[in-house]
Structures are given as C-alpha cells and as structure tokens.
Amino acid sequence: DRTAPRRLAVFGAGYVGLVTAACLAWLGHELVCVDSQPERVRQLRRGGLPFHEPMLGELVQEQMRAGRLRFSSSAEEAVAHGELLFIAVGTPTAADGAAELAQVMQVADAIGRHMPGPRQVVMKSTVPVGTGERVRQRIREQLALRGVSWPLGIASNPEFLREGLAVQDFLRPERVVAGSDDAGLLEALRALHAPLLSDRRPFLAMDLRSAELCKYAANVMLAARLSLMNELALLAEGLGADIEQVREGLGRDPRIGAQFLRAGCGFGGSCLPKDLRALRHSAAALGQATPMLDAIAASNERMVGLLETRVCEALGELLDGRRIAVWGLAFKPHTDDVRESPALALVRALLARGAQVQAYDPMAGPAAREALGELPGLHLAGSALEALQQADVLVLVTDWPQFAELPAEALRDRLRGTLVLDGRNALDGARLAAVGLQHRGIGRAT
Ligand code: UGA
C-alpha cells in the first residue's frame, strides 16, 4: 500500500516544520516534531501555536489527540522514531547576505550522532544549492566518528506555502518538487504525497541541486513580477495612466497570469527578500553577475521608501509635531508576521524625522511592539479609527480588508489633514474624494 502509515520525524517547529508535521500526520503517518526551544515544545504540547496561522492550531490539536503527532525536544528520540527525517529549521540571513546554515548543520550533527541505522533525510528548509550534499557529508562525518557507515539518502523537497494559506497550500499543492540521486527516496516521497497528487498537481522528481534552485527561482520570479509592476505603476503615474486598469489588461494574457501582479509599497516577509539576498550571495560567490536580481533588490528598496518620501512631499522633511496614522504593520494581511515588513520600515523612518506615529494592525500589534521596542513618539492604537485621531496624514501600508470597509466620513471626522496615502490601492478613492479627502494610491492618476 503506497500510503501505509510511516514513522516520520520533522526537525523544527516553525512555519514549515509545523505545517509539514501536522499535514503528514493528517495523511495518516506517525510524526515526531522536534524543536530545540523547550518553551516552544511545552507550548505546543499544551495546544498553543507559536504564531498565528489559520487552520493550523486545530489541525495540530486534532492530530495530537489522534496520537499521530507528538512534540519533543529530544533529537535522539526523533532520529530513533523517523525512517524519514525532515529538516525544517530556520535559515536566516547572515551578516554578509548568505543564508545562515548553523541550525541546519546542528540538526545534521544530531542526526549523525543518533542514527541507529539507515535513514533518509529530506530538506524542507530553503537552503543554498549544494547544501544537501554538505548535510550528507556532515552526517557521514559523525557516522565515521562512531565507526559506522549506514546507507543515508538525501533529498530536497522545498515548500511553496504562503503564510496565511499554509495548510491549504500544503494539502492542495500546485506541484510537489523533490530532488535526489536516490531513486528509492524519491519513490518514498512520491508515495507520501500520493493522496495530494493528480494530473493537475504533479510530483516533479529531479536532481538534488535543481530542486534546491527551484525554491529560490520561484521566489525571485515572484519578486521580479512585483518589482516590475511597481516600476510600471510609477511610470503610469508619470504618464497619467492607471496601473489597476493596466493590471487587468495584463493579467488576461495566460502567459502572464493574473495573480501576484498588485503594485504596492514594496514586498516584505520572511521569504522573498531573504531568498533574493541569498541567491545574489551565491552568485557573487561564483563570481557571476546578476543584474536582474540586483535590480529587483534596488527597486524594492526604493518602493519601501516611497511612502516616506510622499509623506515628506506633503508635510516637509521635518515632521516634528506632525501626527501620522499608519494602517497595517504586518508584512501582508491575515498574518501577525512583521518580518521585513515595509510598514515597520516606514514607522521607523517617520519616527526618526520626529513624527508622532499612531499605528494600528488588527493582528500584528504585539509583534510590532516587540520588533520596534518602546520608541518615543510611537502609539499603537487599539483600533483603525483610534489611529486616525487628529492625524495630518493617513498612510495605509498593509491591505487588511476591514480598512476598506470603514465609512469615508469616519476617516474625515477624525483626521485633521485631508491626505490619504494608500500604499496598496486598497481604498476607494472616489468615496474618499466625495467627503473631501485626497486619496493618493500607487500608480494611479491623482
Ligand atoms: C512567499 C511565496 O509567495 C510563497 O510561494 C513561498 O512559499 C514563501 O514566500 C516562502 O518562501 O516560504 P509569503 O512570504 O507568505 O510567501 O508572502 P506572499 O503572499 O508571497 O507576499 C510577499 C510580499 O509581496 C508581501 O509583502 C505582499 O504584500 C507582497 N505582494 C504580494 C504584493 O505587493 N503584490 C502582490 O500582488 C502580491
């Protein structure tokens, strides 16, 4: 039976690890998920999640109750349990822009120290091309120290899930990418994913390095689309065109596609900017030029600074005594994640210019407070309307749908200025204009 329950272990109870563990348990397998932070393990055992993600909390609890998923802080236990060992730990950016592999290598060492027999290792973390081979080497070194040399398969099985849609993306994948030189391991991965596959949801077996590159390629391709749209948006402004109408016209071409084409005040999050940096770093290490990738990074940096520039155009360079309302702190709606959020960059820049910032986010307030610290001049408001009180300008940075639902009069009555800078083209400019407010989007005629 292709889907007979298997004993699996996942290293890392972060976004990718937890989603992988819970979804594989849901498919009927027996999972141990291990994390090096004991506090996180305790929290998960109590039924809590370390971050917000729709459907994931319920799924984790259900699978724990069913006895298919348990959490541990013992790598030894996980290695003993799992025939397949998934590595899903963090790969943050190091000071030089490279992906930091310390956590990955710690897991590799632990696997090598504790392997009680043959094992297969699957990389879920986003890692530079060639890391799979380094991990295999590292595990073998540990085995050699123990005087053993069991068979060791290694595969790359990158994750393409989006925050906020993570469970759905795992269970309804557009494709499953798996790379390895071990045919048996590829078959095992295909069998694990079999219930999720169909003609429209294929399993793409390839070599290890190609699978590793696939992940970066996908994210920089997405980043490139956004940067190009952002540049077209600014051109549209100059030329008196409207990027939202242009987007409709573009997205109808199936070669282009309608998704991921929204211009805005820059992309952020824990993946797109980081993966772009890491790939540029890999290229630089090879001595290879990447003018396209460099341009994406430069373009996005400029877009992230755009709203600050526009506030200054309206109010002057010095913002002492000015009050600015900021709507949205998360890097995108439906998450409390503020990593590389364009909103935090804006808040910091405005505060540095002396402004009073009144910010509101439906979910990311606590995370933003933690990331920003107690900064003088920063007030985290309890509601979108409270953030507007006596503000000279409203700046929308994250397009939470509830912002667009507030009546225009409520905005006008609370603001003391009239300008609304809409970094995501989320608000209805005509409705705002009707009550005397001036709406300025990105890439739209003003
Ligand atoms: C991204 C990719 O979309 C996933 O496919 C990938 O698996 C994931 O990174 C990862 O590597 O783990 P995510 O970071 O959750 O997912 O966020 P996105 O939904 O891609 O949004 C990224 C940024 O682009 C946000 O700041 C968002 O506001 C911006 N964006 C997105 C736009 O400006 N316009 C759009 O049309 C779409």
68 and 186 both lie in a single domain: yes
Q: Are 284 and 373 in a shared domain?
A: yes
Domain assignment present for residue 144? The answer is yes
Confirm whether 138 is domain-assigned: yes
Average pLDDT over residues 199-221: 98
Q: How far is the CA of 1 from the centre of ligand 1 (A)?
A: 37
Residue 67's domain comprises 7-206
Q: Residues lining ligand 1, CB < 6 A? A: 159-163, 219, 222, 226, 260-262, 264, 267-269, 271-272, 331-332
Q: For the chain, what is the mean pLDDT?
A: 96
Return the percent helix, strand and coil in the chain, to nearest 5. Answer: 45, 15, 40
Q: Give the pLDDT score at 445.
A: 78
Out of 163, 172, 306, 338, mutate this one to test ligand 1's pocket (max ligand atoms within 8 Å of CB): namely 163
Pocket test for ligand 1, best of 156, 159, 222, 339 (most atoms within 8 A of CB): 222
pLDDT number for residue 164: 92
Q: How confident is the model at residue 285, as a pLDDT?
A: 96
Residue with tokens 């759905």: 168
Q: Which of 306, 385, 381 is nearest to 349 (CA)?
A: 306
Together in a domain, 123 and 199: yes
Do 202 and 278 have their domain in common? no
Pocket test for ligand 1, best of 175, 219, 399 (most atoms within 8 A of CB): 219
Residue nearest to atom 17 of ligand 1 (CA): 162
Asked if residue 186 and residue 56 are part of one domain, the reply reads yes
For atom 6 of ligand 1, which residue has the closest CA? 160
Pocket test residue of 19, 160, 272 for ligand 1, highest count of atoms within 8 A of CB? 272
Return d(Cα 351, Cα 342) in angstroms, integer: 14
Question: How many domains would you assign to the chain?
Answer: 2
In a domain, 238, yes or no: no
Supply the residue whose CA is at minimum distance from atom 10 of ligand 1. Answer: 271
Residue range 149-159: average pLDDT? 97
Report the atom number in ligand 1 closest to the C-alpha of 160.
Answer: 7
Q: What is the pLDDT of residues 398-417, one digit of tens each?
A: 999 999 999 999 999 999 99
Within-domain flag for 48: yes
pLDDT at 2 over 60: no
Expressed in angstroms and rounded, the spacing between residue 267 Cα and the centre of ligand 1 is 7
Domain boundary among 175, 206, 237: 206
Q: Is 263 among the domain residues?
A: no
**How many whole angstroms separate alpha carbon 86 and alpha carbon 178?**
13
Specify the residue with its C-alpha closest to ligand 1, atom 7.
Answer: 160
Closest CA relative to residue 154, chosen from 203, 194, 112:
112
Contacts of 129 (CB under 8 A, 6+ apart): 209, 212, 213, 216, 282
pLDDT above 90: residue 157:
yes
Rounded to an integer, what distance in angstroms lies between the CA atom of residue 334 and that of residue 69? 26
Query: How far is the C-alpha of 64 from the C-alpha of 31, rounded, in Å?
Result: 9
- CA 109 distance to own-chain centroid: 27
Placement of tokens 């292709």 in the chain: 2
Residues 436, 427: Cα–Cα separation, whole Å: 14
Ligand 1 atom showing the smallest separation from residue 333 Cα = 28
Residue nearest to atom 1 of ligand 1 (CA): 162
User: Is residue 336 within 8 Å of residue 364, measured between CB atoms?
Assistant: yes
Residue 76 shares a structural domain with residue 170 = yes
State the pLDDT confidence band at 241, using cuts at 50, 70 and 90.
Answer: very high
Q: What is the mean pLDDT of the segment spanning 264-283?
A: 96
Residue 119 alpha carbon to ligand 1 centre in Å = 34
In a domain, 237, yes or no: no
In this prediction the ipTM stands at 0.97
Q: Which of 159, 182, 206 marks a domain boundary? A: 206
The residue whose CA has the least distance to atom 9 of ligand 1 is 271
Check whether residue 154 and residue 299 sit in a common domain: no
Instruction: Indicate the residue among 206, 235, 260 that finishes a domain.
Output: 206
d(CA 263, CA 269): 16
Q: How many angstroms does the Cα of residue 272 sit away from the middle of ligand 1? A: 7
The verdict on residue 266 lying in a domain is: no
Atom of ligand 1 at shortest distance to CA of 230?
33
**Mean pLDDT of the 142-166 span:** 96
Strands 84-87, 356-360: pairing is unpaired
Q: Whole-angstrom Cα distance, residue 167 to residue 26?
A: 11
Asked whether residue 363 is assigned to any structural domain, the reply reads yes
| CA-closest residue to ligand 1 atom 11 | 271
Q: How far is the CA of 74 from the centre of ligand 1 (A)?
A: 33
172 is written with which tokens?
């309804």
Q: Specify whether 33 is located in the same domain as 163.
A: yes
What's the confidence (pLDDT) of residue 5? 86
Q: Is the distance from CB of 400 to CB of 423 less than 8 angstroms? A: no
Token code pair at residue 265: 């005040």
CA of 323 to the centre of ligand 1 (A): 30
**Positions marked catalytic:** 271
Mean pLDDT of 275-304: 97
Range of lowest pLDDT (94-98, 105-109, 121-125, 219-223): 94-98
Q: Listing from the earlier edge strand, what are the strands of the sheet with 176-180?
A: 69-72, 30-34, 7-11, 84-87, 119-123, 152-156, 176-180, 203-206
CATH code, 432 = 3.40.50.720
276 C-alpha vs ligand 1 centroid, how far in Å? 12
Asked if pLDDT for residue 1 goes beyond 70, the answer is: no
Q: What is the CB-side half-sphere exposure of residue 306 using CA atoms within 13 A?
A: 27
